[in-house]
């Protein structure tokens, strides 16, 4: 459907950390939630109003975030569509709480568990229901992988011994991480088990290899395969559910999203390594002429190419901290979220038959 293709954007406002609201002077808050889809940022001189698909205020429960954000995506995953849920926001804005739940506790049973454990539960609930409905004719196979992208290198979080992995494409299976471990799942609890193991590995890696988790993206992927036998015809369907924890948005300074800043030339390095970016930008504004740009997408956008528009269901949860100290980051997160709504893979169909209508 027409509006269903666009990326859905949700904003969640976390409660201020204890004490800040009081000590921070004038109210201490830089925004207020006006309704379930608008937010007002107290910018000067004029306040700014943002509209999103859904805005969760500080009181919104984990359950209600899950139902409005993820439920739909898990369902369409059962119908053979790929789905992706991104969490975005600065470090400390509540991404992990939203996605996983309270830190350092068994989130799988905790009443405050996050979107991910709830998605697992719901997915396996739907699978069981399907199986019951279809009887022996239908079977399911779930597999998962968990990778981390740090500094444009890919690491397997389910195999801490592995070196950097590569992205490849398969004509039938799409983009995949070559050599990534795939683990078979038979229940939500098992899925959660794999996730936490990987999450722990991520922390270990970040201390031992000097990589900061706030600078890396983590992608947890579940493949759902269903096989249905109808007399002689075997119908196989497969889809992906990607759960993505993006690097802290404060790191976006390092990339071109930041705006007008000039890229500096390294003082020692003899290369002006960003010149390519400048030239690429010039070519990008070309006028629809056939051209090739030598510089690839980032690993993350390449991996999730299909999720950014096309025939996949995608949503972004933008987490913000309401403290006035975070004003700058919050503004840039809200701006990003607003831009995200416009992301769409364009179906550019070569169609130049104008002279040919007679």
Partner 1 sequence: GEARLAAVRRAVLEYELGVNHTDTEELSAGEEHLQRCTQLLEPHRLSPDCVSLYIQAQNNLGILWSERDEIKTAQTYLESAEALYNQYMKEDGNPPLDPSEHFMAEEEKLTDQERSKRFEKAYTHTLYYLAQVYQHLEMIEKAAQYCHTTLKRQLEYCGYYPVEWALNAATLSQYYLSKQCFMESRHCLAAASVIFSQAGQVPSAEDNETEQDQQDLRQRKAEIARCWIKYCLNLLQSARKLLEDNIGELDPDRQSELKAQRRKEEDEKEKGRKKAVLFGTSDICDSVLAMEEKVSSVYPLDFQEAREIFLVGQNYVQEAKEFFQVDGYVTDHIEIVQDHSALFKVLAFFEEDYERRCKMHKRRIDMLEPIYADLNPQYYLLISRQLQFELADTYYEMMDLKVAIGNRLEELDSHTIKKINSLAQLAIKYYELFLDSLRNPDKVFPEQLEEDVLRPAMVAKFHIARLYGKLITSDSKKQLENMQTSLEYYTFLVDYCEKYPDAVRAVETELELSKEMVGLLPTRMERLRAKLCPFI
Q: Which residues bind partner 1 (CB under 8 A)?
A: 1-2, 4-5, 76, 79-82, 168-175, 238-239, 259-265, 270-273, 275-276, 278-283, 285-287, 289-295, 305-306, 310-311, 344-351, 353-358
Angle between helices 62-69 and 115-134 (to 10 degrees): 60
Q: Where are the beta strands (DSSP E) in 192-311?
A: 216-230, 233-245
Q: Smaller CB distance to partner 1: residue 28 or 310?
A: 310
Report, in Å, the least distance between residue 221 CB and partner 1: 13
**Residues 68, 12: Cα–Cα separation, whole Å:** 12
Give the nearer residue to partner 1 in terms of CB position, either 58 or 281: 281
Dist CA 214 CA 338 (whole Å): 22
Q: List the structure tokens of 302.
A: 């390449």
Q: Quick one: 229 or 344, whose CB is closer to partner 1?
A: 344
Tell me how far, at minimum, the Cβ of 247 lies from partner 1, in Å: 20
Positive/negative CA dihedral, 168, 174, 177, 182:
negative
Q: Which is nearer to partner 1, 229 or 263 (CB)?
A: 263
What CA–CA distance (Å, rounded) separates 82 from 73? Answer: 8
- Alpha carbon of 210 to those of 203, 252, 272, 298: distances in Å? 10, 19, 27, 21
59 or 234: CB nearest partner 1: 234
Radius of gyration of the chain (CA): 22
What is the C-alpha separation between 44 and 150, in angstroms, rounded?
A: 37
- Is-contact 135 145, C-beta < 8 A? no
Q: How far is the CB of 266 from partner 1 (least distance, A)?
A: 10
Verify cis geometry, omega within 30 degrees of 0, for the bond prior to 336: no
Q: Is the peptide bond before 119 cis (omega within 30 degrees of 0)?
A: no
Cβ distance to partner 1 smaller for residue 136 or 267 = 267
Decide: 306 and 170 in contact? Cβ < 8 Å: no
Minimum distance from residue 268 beta carbon to partner 1 (Å): 11
Least separation in angstroms between residue 101's CB and partner 1 is 32
What minimum distance in Å lies between the beta carbon of 203 and partner 1? 28
Q: Which is nearer to partner 1, 210 or 356 (CB)?
A: 356
Instruction: Give me the least distance between CB of 290 and partner 1, in Å please.
Output: 5
């Amino acid at each position: 459907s027409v509006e269903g293709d666009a990326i859905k954007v949700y904003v969640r406002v976390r409660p201020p950390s204890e004490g800040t609201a009081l000590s921070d002077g004038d109210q201490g808050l830089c925004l207020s939630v006006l309704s379930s889809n608008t937010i007002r940022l107290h910018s000067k001189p004029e306040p700014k109003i943002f509209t999103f698909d859904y805005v969760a205020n500080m009181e919104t429960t984990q359950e209600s975030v899950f139902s409005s954000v993820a439920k739909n995506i898990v369902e369409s995953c059962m119908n053979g569509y790929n789905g992706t849920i991104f969490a975005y926001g600065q470090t400390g804005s509540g991404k992990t709480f939203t996605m996983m739940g309270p830190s350092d506790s068994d989130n799988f049973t905790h009443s405050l568990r996050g979107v991910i454990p709830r998605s697992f539960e719901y997915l396996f609930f739907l699978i069981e229901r399907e199986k019951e409905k279809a009887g022996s004719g239908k079977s399911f196979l779930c597999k998962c992988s968990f990778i981390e992208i740090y500094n444009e290198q890919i690491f397997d979080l389910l195999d801490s011994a592995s070196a950097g992995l590569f992205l490849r494409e398969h004509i039938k299976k799409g983009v995949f991480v070559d050599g990534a471990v795939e683990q078979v799942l038979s229940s939500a609890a098992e899925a959660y088990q794999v996730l936490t193991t990987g999450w722990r590995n991520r922390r270990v890696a970040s201390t031992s290899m000097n990589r900061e988790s706030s600078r890396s993206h983590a992608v947890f992927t579940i493949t759902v395969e269903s096989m249905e036998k109808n007399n002689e015809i075997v119908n196989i369907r497969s889809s992906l559910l990607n759960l993505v924890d993006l690097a802290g948005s404060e790191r976006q300074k390092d990339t071109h999203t930041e705006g007008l800043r000039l890229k500096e030339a390294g003082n020692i390095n003899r290369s002006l390594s960003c010149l390519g970016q400048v030239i690429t930008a010039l070519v990008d504004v070309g006028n629809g002429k056939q051209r090739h740009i030598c510089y690839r997408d980032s690993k993350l956008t390449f991996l999730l190419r299909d999720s950014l528009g096309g025939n996949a269901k995608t949503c972004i949860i933008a987490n913000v901290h309401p403290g006035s100290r975070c004003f700058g980051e919050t503004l840039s997160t809200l701006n990003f979220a607003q831009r995200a709504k416009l992301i769409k893979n364009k179906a550019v169909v070569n169609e130049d038959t104008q002279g040919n209508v007679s």
